[in-house]
Structure 1
Amino acid sequence: MTRPTTTAISPCFIVSEVDQTIAFYRDKLGFEQRFREPEESPFFGIIGRDGAQILIKSDREVSPLPNHKRHRYMRWDAFVYAPDPDALAAEFIDHGAEFSIPLKDTHDGLRGFEITDPDGYVLFFGRPR
């Protein structure tokens, strides 16, 4: 019997402002806006690039809380698998993205880089070496 498969996972980030988050991911990382509601002053959105997708929600009474603020050893909020992290890093640099950790081979057998978004969420883009 063939096992059912899954193809992606979409983390949900609480953000300070949906439009600001959409602009960052679109302009710096090449993500597309897949959903935004409502049109004026949105409180929810979906952004994605290929199979990577993030749901974003803002609420004036709830502040963003990236993992590293909860526990210093839990740096990443998302791992984005990138088969060619070198090419992806070059594209991001061309769009003015700044890395919080530059492209490198890590001590734990990965090759990739980290980017921190405007609310402090840390995304690792890379793959096993």
Structure 2
Amino acid sequence: MLVSVTPFFIVDDLTATLDFYQSKLGFSVPYKGGGDEDVDDYWDFVRRDNVMLMFKAIAANVHPQPNSSRHPFARWDAYIYTDNPDALYTEFVAKKVPIHRELGNTSDNLRAFEIKDNNGYVLCFGRPLDREF
């Protein structure tokens, strides 16, 4: 049985990314690593409820490449299922999270909204329209 998946995103500034995910999206940081006494950490996992994401700063010349920068049909970098997108949307708006696409019923048959993080990655939060919370 598969239990979870943790998408892995390349970032330029790990500290700024962790700050965004903690202060704006309500994630915590359960795992950090890669560094030693003389080197800062260069990868981290963030978690909220059952969702985890991994971020890694690779090198100065390796930058984030969100899917949407490759092709307009690849809008999302991650889809995150939530039972109650309306409540989550209200929470994020109150925290001034950059909303990429407003909450609504989509042509993909979802009740969803999209945010864009500080690296340009687009996260869609939603649920199928035929599922009530």
Indicate the SS of the match to 2:72. Answer: coil
**TM-score, normalized by length of structure 1?**
0.91
Total equivalences in the alignment? 125
Q: Name the structure 1 match of 2:43.
A: 44
SS in 2 for 1:29: coil
What is the match of residue 53 of structure 1?
A: 52
**What is the letter of the counterpart of residue 28 of structure 1?**
K
Question: How far has the Cα of 1:35 moved from its partner?
Answer: 1.7
Q: Which one-letter code corresponds to 1:44 in the other structure?
A: W
What is the TM-score when the length of structure 2 is the normalising length? Answer: 0.88
Deviation digits for residues 6-38 of structure 1 (CA, Å, limit 9, x no counterpart):
222110000011111111011111011112233
Find the aligned partners of 2:128 and 2:3 in 1 and give their Cα distance. Answer: 18
Q: CA RMSD in A?
A: 1.4
Deviates most, 90-99 or 72-81? 90-99
Distance 1:75 1:52 in 2: 20
**1: CA distance between counterparts of 2:125 and 2:18?**
18
Structure 1 segments, 4+ long, off by >6 Å, are: none
Tell me the residue number matched to 1:114: 114
| Percent of aligned pairs with the same amino acid | 38
Structure 2, unmatched stretches of 5+, are: none
SS in 1 for 2:99: coil
**Structure 1: gaps of 5 or more residues:** none
The equivalent residue for 1:101 is 101
Partners of 2:96 and 2:118 lie apart in 1 by 14
Tell me if structure 2 keeps the 8 A contact 1:29–1:92: yes
Q: Please tell me the residue identity of whatever aligns with 2:47.
A: G
